[in-house]
Structure 1
Amino acid sequence: MANLKLLLWNMEWMNDLFDQNGNFRADTHKPQHAPSTTVRTRRNHLSGVINELAPDIVVVVEGPNQEKELNLFFEDDVEGTWVVRLQPTSGSSQCIGCAVRTDRGLLHAEEPIRFFDTRQLPVFQPFELPNQNDGIIEKYQFERFPLYAEIVTAQGEAFRILGLHLKSKGIFDAYEWSKWWAMADANRKKLLAQTRQIRVQFLDKYLGDVATQRIPLIVCGDINDGPGMDASEKRLLGSAIEQLMGNVWRPFLCLGNALFDALPPKDQDALRFDSIYTTTFKDPIFNNVQHREWIDHVLYSMNRAEWVKNARVITTMTDGQKIGTKYKFASDHLPVVAEVELD
């Protein structure tokens, strides 16, 4: 039996750590998106979190744009021996990667990770969908190609990971009110289009095809959406994360949510999610009110019983210190861990 620890983490603009040649910038260099700290401090804080959590698999969101850069980080800064793959996206400085630890003997010695380049898969190419209001065909695309990989254990058991970083809903500048709403609706339409494309054209087919339906699948990443519907989503009659999880009319194709599973029964019964948050930010429009949002998710296929479990958001490190205190400059997102158990 393989029992693996999965870490999902939006590591916030890792590309800032590297120069154009793919080497680390000088230790004293101030990262573009975190000018109040240094490259060395960010490296220490990012690697410090990973080393303390000691995962076997890391899904990296907002990774750098070259695989050799992500490999350099794990090679130089993270304990253990790792095999690293990164899904490039032309023109993007934020890419999705996966690193698997190979020195513990838990993963296949020769090929622990098999990589599928999603740039070559038709489902992730630009696509068209009809507008639900007027039927006009609209064009969409993925700003960042998803990561798609198969992980193989030392016993030869395999499961797959689809790593996502979907369209952001955030608007962090002040606009005339009607323009703000138009932008909010447009962002959510793009996000809903992306989750619909993944659900209908990838997940439904993966879970319904005899060639893949028995291979366990984890769908995880920064979905940029949480449970329920905000004011704009109510206007559009759609929730991105719930669309991704599946249609209640086809329950055998639905995905479980590992963080929901970890809620106390009373919170599950009441659909009370406010104890879960993976990022915080100040609202620039409404007096910098602090928001806590659950937008990073670990979803899993239900073709095996209880194979992804004990998920939690890391807010406190092993020594009792808050992650935001001990590793202040690591990331604006909290790490999510879960156990993967394959017979």
Structure 2
Amino acid sequence: MRIATYNVEWFTSLFDRRGRLLDDGEWSSRYNVTRGDQLGALGIVFTAVDADVFLIVEAPGDGDGRDTVEMLERFAAFAGLRQRKALMGFANETQQEIALLYDPDVVTAIHDPQDDPPDCPRFDRSLKIDLDIDGRLDRVVFSKPPLEAVLETRDGARLRLVGVHVKSKAPHGAPSDPVAEVRIAIENRRKQLAQCLWLRRRVDLLLDAGEPFLVLGDFNDGPGLDEYEKLFGRSGLEIVVGEDQPPARRLRDPHARLNKGGPFAAQPVSARFYLKDARQYFGAMLDYILISPDLCTAAPSWRIWHPFDDPGCYKVPELREALLQASDHFPVSLDLTLAAAPKPVGPPIVQS
């Protein structure tokens, strides 16, 4: 079974106000890429990755006459994908939904949000936590509530999936005042860490229940990624992974630990951004697929579909160019060999 996470930049801009595809020569929201070219590139990428289940980060926005599930399924039909069924969790107001696109001949999926108030409420609600250690509880919400789903293969293998798009730490909208920029950056870091603490509480509950699961998506974070990590002691990703926990309670993804090798170690990259001031690109590792310890026996194999770093992608010019046109992130995939009918995680799934 192959599961992938893919952050598609401005996917929402490839559909009109009625949710119809904009396969034309007008500019997309990606720099110097037309809407038709981006749609074509996405079709090539989705086909090449060939995952049974895609977590789509920044899926087209839902509401105001548009339906995320319908738009994704319309895109799948346009691109001729076998992943023709879509599933969405809680909608948000950012035009960037979290959704699944999957092959219904291989796997079924249901939205299955968990709720354990007050310490770990449902992700579309709020959590009270003391962010700045002032003795007062702050109210934390997800701008993009994580998607919780249960997957079941045709032979009965089941696992839980938590798809995330954690808040960015970048001081977007900050004034030119350097002091204000630092203040906003620290506030954003606190919110990002609070969301990761909330996610870790869900992870602990799933570990206690003995359920095989994945936590995947765009964490906007990683060990050593910015200077504020020293101020707070650890990254949000390390909190979700459980770096301070014993091995039996620690999630696994080899890309989450490569930064531990020091400044001269090879660093993985899942996203590529252009710096206008420096007039060059820089890479960052933001997208992860974290697995529960019990899935380590399922022969897990991770891959970052990077157009330059992955030899298989680089040697195929059409795929290499499509990866660059489609998004500023690259897919990350995980291959698993699942045994039939592991520990049950709920009632049988009924495909709607």
Indicate yes or no: 2:16 matched with 1:19: yes
Distance (Å, rounded) in 1 between the aligned partners of 2:265 and 2:151:
31
Q: Do the aligned residues in 2 keep the contact of 1:118 with 1:145 (CA within 8 Å)?
A: no
Residues 234-272 of structure 1: CA distance to partner in whole angstroms, max 9, x if unpaired?
A: 2122310000101534442221114358x6xxx876696
What residue number does 1:30 align with?
27
Indicate yes or no: 2:276 matched with 1:279: no
Give the SS at the match of 1:69: helix
Indicate yes or no: 2:7 matched with 1:10: yes
| Shift of residue 218, structure 1, vs aligned partner | 0.6
Indicate yes or no: 2:299 matched with 1:299: no
Give the SS at the match of 1:51: helix
What residue number does 1:252 align with?
248
Indicate yes or no: 2:176 matched with 1:175: yes
Q: Do the aligned residues in 2 keep the contact of 1:315 with 1:322 (CA within 8 Å)?
A: no
| Shift of residue 319, structure 1, vs aligned partner | 4.2
Q: Do the aligned residues in 1 keep the contact of 2:6 with 2:55 (CA within 8 Å)?
A: yes
| Shift of residue 334, structure 1, vs aligned partner | 1.1
What residue number does 1:48 align with?
44
Distance (Å, rounded) in 2 between the aligned partners of 1:147 and 1:178:
36
TM-score under structure 2 normalisation?
A: 0.83
Give the SS at the match of 1:16: helix
What residue number does 1:98 align with?
100
Residues 67-120 of structure 1: CA distance to partner in whole angstroms, max 9, x if unpaired?
A: 1111111122142252211224232300011122134xx43xxxx112225799
More displaced, 317-326 or 328-337?
317-326
Q: Do the aligned residues in 2 keep the contact of 1:9 with 1:221 (CA within 8 Å)?
A: yes
What residue number does 2:224 align with?
228
1:218 alignment partner AA? L
Q: Do the aligned residues in 2 keep the contact of 1:67 with 1:86 (CA within 8 Å)?
A: yes
Cα RMSD (Å): 2.7
Distance (Å, rounded) in 1 between the aligned partners of 2:91 and 2:254:
28
What residue number does 1:152 align with?
152
2:141 alignment partner AA? Q
Distance (Å, rounded) in 2 between the aligned partners of 1:278 and 1:117:
28
Change (3 A) 1:273 1:21: farther
Structure 2 unmatched runs, 5+: 62-67, 308-312, 340-352
Distance (Å, rounded) in 1 between the aligned partners of 2:56 and 2:318:
21
Q: Do the aligned residues in 1 keep the contact of 2:85 with 2:101 (CA within 8 Å)?
A: yes
What residue number does 1:82 align with?
84
Distance (Å, rounded) in 2 between the aligned partners of 1:237 and 1:268:
14
Superposition pairs for residues 109-148 of structure 1, below 5 Å? 112-117=108-113, 122-124=121-123, 125-148=125-148
What residue number does 2:64 align with?
none
Change (3 A) 1:59 1:273: farther
2:287 alignment partner AA? D
1:310 alignment partner AA? S
Indicate yes or no: 2:322 matched with 1:331: no
Give the SS at the match of 2:186: helix
Distance (Å, rounded) in 1 between the aligned partners of 2:299 and 2:94:
31
Change (3 A) 1:20 1:138: same
Structure 1 unmatched runs, 5+: none
Q: Do the aligned residues in 2 keep the contact of 1:60 with 1:96 (CA within 8 Å)?
A: yes
Distance (Å, rounded) in 2 between the aligned partners of 1:195 and 1:79:
33
Indicate yes or no: 2:163 matched with 1:163: yes
| Shift of residue 52, structure 1, vs aligned partner | 1.6
How many equivalent pairs are there? Answer: 323
What residue number does 2:239 align with?
243
Over the matched positions of the two proteins, sequence identity in percent amounts to: 24
Distance (Å, rounded) in 2 between the aligned partners of 1:242 and 1:13:
28
Distance (Å, rounded) in 2 between the aligned partners of 1:41 and 1:119:
42
| Shift of residue 27, structure 1, vs aligned partner | 1.8
Distance (Å, rounded) in 1 between the aligned partners of 2:281 and 2:34:
25
Indicate yes or no: 2:303 matched with 1:312: yes
TM-score under structure 1 normalisation?
A: 0.85
2:228 alignment partner AA? S
More displaced, 246-255 or 318-327?
318-327
Indicate yes or no: 2:191 matched with 1:195: no
1:64 alignment partner AA? P
2:111 alignment partner AA? F
